Structure 1
Amino acid sequence: MTLTAGLQRAVDDFQAVAEPDRLQLLLEFADELPALPARYAEHPDLLERVAECQSPVFLFVEVDDAVHVHATAPEEAPTTRGFASILAQGLEGATPEEALAVPADMPRLLGLDRAVSPLRLRGMAGMLGRIQRQIRERLAERA
């Protein structure tokens, strides 16, 4: 299984705490979701809605030599916001190839199966899928 260094750190963090404490760790990640750069905060139309999420999650991926994920999720949806934060932080600075190699079932590695609903895990998988699609699109635009 191939994870970026950032995602591997997140998985390690979740696996290092007892199962009942993993939800609290997810909420801590929610508080760490990076703010949108002004160029996106002022132009939300540039962001893509993640339809797989019940909560309104929007994201945009920039690709230069590295991947930069920008995401927003409401504070009143801390689980979803936590997942967005894990992906944004865990993919930040990865090469496009590293980000594209992350397996679709990566959310399950966090060990949250009993703490959050399967619908929430599918939402995170949906975020990852959209991020990877946007990476492929950005690479195709550069080719």
Structure 2
Amino acid sequence: MTDTHLPERLAEVREEFLDLPQGERLELLLEYSSELPPVPEHLADRVDMYERVAECQSPVFINVEVTDGVVAMHATAPPEAPTTRGFASILVQGLTGLTADEVLAIPGDYPQTIGLTQAVSPLRIAGMTGMLVRAKRQVAQKR
């Protein structure tokens, strides 16, 4: 993977994980799970505005808004699914505030590069990949 199109926040997240010993990376992911921003009030009761991420075993729903070319990603993930919630949090924090073009340029293999492939199951990594694919598709449709 090249970092040519990797936004600064996502690059920092990756470095943060890769700088830790393998055994501590899951703990950091769990920290991210507690930092998933709440959905905005105008979307709180609008389940019709969210897309289910089928690759996730847990019920994860995302919504991406593009306003004046700037992306805001929102996600819901249950507290009892902390790894999935952590992945959602990383993407919400990493994509929100970027331009549509910056989001679309994020390499699709980003989830495989943050050093968690040994800490969590391939199914969970596929879930994060599914979130990123859907977010990018929504951005492309709404920009």
Summarize deviations over 1:10-47 as a string: whole Å, max 9, x none: 10110111111000000000000000011111212211
Summarize deviations over 1:68-109 as a string: whole Å, max 9, x none: 100010000000000000000011111111111111110111
**What's 1:109 paired with?**
113
Unaligned runs of 5+ in 2: none
Identical amino acids, percent of aligned pairs: 53
How high is the TM-score relative to the length of structure 1?
A: 0.94
Show structure 1 runs of 4+ deviating over 3 A.
Answer: none
How high is the TM-score relative to the length of structure 2?
A: 0.94
Cα distance in 2, alignment partners of residues 53 and 125 from structure 1: 9
**What's 2:56 paired with?**
53
Please give the root-mean-square deviation of Cα atoms over the aligned residues, in Å: 0.8
Cα distance in 1, alignment partners of residues 106 and 54 from structure 2: 21
Cα distance in 1, alignment partners of residues 114 and 24 from structure 2: 12
Unaligned runs of 5+ in 1: none
Q: Name the stretch that deviates more: 8-17 or 74-83.
A: 8-17
Where do residues 85-124 of structure 1 align in structure 2 (5 Å cutoff)? Answer: 85-124=89-128
How many residues align? The count is 139
